[in-house]
Structure 1
Amino acid sequence: MKPLRSTSRHASAGYGQPPLRARPRPLAATLLHVGGYNGFGLWMVLGLALAVGVYPGGRGDVLVPLALGALLVAFGLAAAGFHSRWMPHWHGWVLGKGSRPTRDALIALACTLPVLAVAGLARGDNTFWATRLAGAAMALCSLCCLIVTAYADGRRQAPEMDHHLATQLPLSRVVSATYGGGLWLWLCAAGQGADNTDLHPTAWIVGLLVLALLRGLVESLRWQAALQRVVGPRGRLELQPGRYLAALLVYAVPCAALLLMSFGFGWLALAMVAAISGTVGMSTELSLYDEALAALPDGP
């Protein structure tokens, strides 16, 4: 009877029997997934900037990115709440009557506490010690959430993934979320103070370009590690057009937009193009990576 009860529990959670191989997610689910961790990345970058004391002053300058990060995170939660076919759970939590949140979902929900604290404490100059402390807590909680949920999401997506590939997921998730969240934060800053000299556009541009370079290095190493374990010819996965499209959207378009911002005009439009392009490109790239995981052999 115990195996039957366990199977029923898995089925009610929307998983059924744990799959033996990776199963690529629908693109819409991948887009919500990427948008969610970009939201945590936005909170992390904002919290770090507040803690260090380099973020521009203004209560609205803090509340807007907080709200945007919450919106990015809430999209996936709302889709799971409506029990959409392509988003059956949120960090393993199937929302419904009698369903309890998983550990990962609880960690993600707990990140809203320092977010609310920052929203309540934000002032005109944002140098109040409690605001900076709350910002540090928000950055730390978001970082912990990205690390913990990355490993768990990878195991749910590909239960047979070997340990070496699994240990690469947290680093990849943190770097990608920092880059994506930084692009969304730059959108907020550009939209709220395009004429504000406190924005220091050169520092923003250089920082985001460095993050793009770092992410390209990390993702390249992760792809090579996965492709080395693929059964059969690797050319189809290495040279597929989708990878070039993803690289164009993740790196070429945002970096070109960032460089054009140095001319001092069209900041809002360029920042919007960079943020949206980066998110869509990372979603495309993650879908292709899931396809590569599906070609891995069973077992470690």
Structure 2
Amino acid sequence: MLLEALALCGYGLWVLLGLALALGIYSSGRGDALVPLALGCIFVSAGLLAACLRLHGTPEWHGWRIGTPQRPTREAMLALITYLPMLGLAGLARGNDAFWATRLVSVALVISSLSCLLTGAYGYRTRRLASQAGIAMQLPVSRMLAAWYGGGLWLWVCVIFQANLSGGAVAPLPWAIGLLLMAMLLGLVDGLGWQSLRAPGDGAQPPIHGLQARRFLAALFIWAIPCLSLLLVPVVPGGRWLAFFAATACVVGKSLELWLYDFALTRYAQSRTTDHEPIWRQDRL
């Protein structure tokens, strides 16, 4: 789940960077886009590297078992294709951001990254049989918002550190407002996703020991710590390190929440199978 959270941040970072370059609102310094591009590449490639090394707990990457006769899945092929516009943009980043090719490749990076997020969400839903839980809408939207929120935090880290190194100024208020709004939307959608695990008509999901306490801990890392850091950055001396701390806390919290949701989803599927088993046997008889 840590690798999945990093991938979400990486794709979200590419989406926001591509939008900023396509609209011509990113830093005009030569090569300033290389740092967020490289950081996103590290995040996205972490899962691929773990699958290639066949580390424990990472048997596949986007449904593809690397090193076996199995052909790459459509989801894996799309994830590999996304590297092409990223590399093209890295080659153009040393030039003028207003160049038409730079903006065209930026749009291609945005489209391919969004496609990876959507196919990854639907692929997870298919592999985990989450369609039984009635979360056809909540899961893709939640993954998209989580990617934009996490990627926005890491892009903010890149911008604020590069501004301090070059002696430029960064207006923290627009960044803070945008990320706070994104955090609010993400919290709302994630809440709906957890509510969807309640079986309709038959009460709540079987209780899981310690689930609420762990969800509260994840919420502290995802929302409380980053939002507080957003407000303290322009006030505290050396506040740019709070931006890095906020982005790291978001990754840790999202990893924990993804693990908890996957565990709760498994329990939900087991409870639904147990409830319907007598009916299935009766119909078969």
TM-score (norm 1): 0.83
How large is the RMSD of aligned CA atoms in angstroms? 2.1
Q: CA deviation at 1:100?
A: 2.0
Change (3 A) 1:90 1:73: same
Change (3 A) 1:241 1:137: same
**Aligned partner letter, 1:290:** D
Change (3 A) 1:190 1:223: same
Q: Percent identity, aligned pairs only?
A: 46
Match of 2:234 in 1: 262
Q: Which residue among 270, 276, 285 is the counterpart of 2:257?
A: 285
Match of 1:209 in 2: 180
Match of 1:148 in 2: 119
Q: CA deviation at 1:227?
A: 2.9
Contact 1:32 1:75 in 2 (8 A): yes
Distance 1:162 1:99 in 2: 27
Match of 2:168 in 1: 196
Instruction: Return the structure number with greater relative CO, CA threshold 8 A, min gap 6.
Output: 1
Distance 1:70 1:280 in 2: 19
Q: CA deviation at 1:60?
A: 2.9
Contact 1:231 1:295 in 2 (8 A): no
Contact 1:56 1:125 in 2 (8 A): no
For residues 134-145 of structure 1, the aligned pairs below 5 Å read 134-145=105-116
Match of 1:98 in 2: 69
For residues 114-129 of structure 1, the aligned pairs below 5 Å read 114-123=85-94, 126-129=97-100
Q: Which residue among 121, 129, 132 is the counterpart of 1:159?
A: 129
Gaps of 5+ in 2: 277-285
Contact 2:198 2:205 in 1 (8 A): no
Match of 2:31 in 1: 60
Change (3 A) 1:181 1:160: closer
Q: CA deviation at 1:240?
A: 2.1
Distance 1:200 1:234 in 2: 48
Gaps of 5+ in 1: 1-29
- Residue aligned with 1:162, SS: helix
Distance 2:17 2:213 in 1: 35
- Residue aligned with 2:196, SS: helix
**Aligned partner letter, 1:188:** C
**Aligned partner letter, 2:234:** S
Distance 1:137 1:233 in 2: 42
Distance 1:204 1:241 in 2: 30
Q: CA deviation at 1:258?
A: 0.7
- Residue aligned with 2:135, SS: helix
For residues 1-300 of structure 1, the aligned pairs below 5 Å read 30-123=1-94, 126-156=97-127, 158-159=128-129, 161-162=131-132, 164-194=134-164, 195-197=167-169, 199-228=170-199, 234-236=206-208, 240-263=212-235, 265-296=237-268, 297-298=272-273
Q: Deviations over 1:180-235 (max 9, x none)?
A: 111111111122112422x3321111111111111011101111111345986555
Equivalenced residues, count: 268
Distance 1:71 1:184 in 2: 12
Q: Deviations over 1:76-116 (max 9, x none)?
A: 11111111221100001111053321110001111111111
Contact 2:233 2:239 in 1 (8 A): yes
**Aligned partner letter, 1:153:** Y
Q: CA deviation at 1:146?
A: 0.4
Distance 1:181 1:249 in 2: 15
Q: Deviations over 1:128-179 (max 9, x none)?
A: 22212211111111111101111112221x2263273133221111110000
- Residue aligned with 2:131, SS: coil
**Aligned partner letter, 1:287:** W
Distance 1:122 1:160 in 2: 40
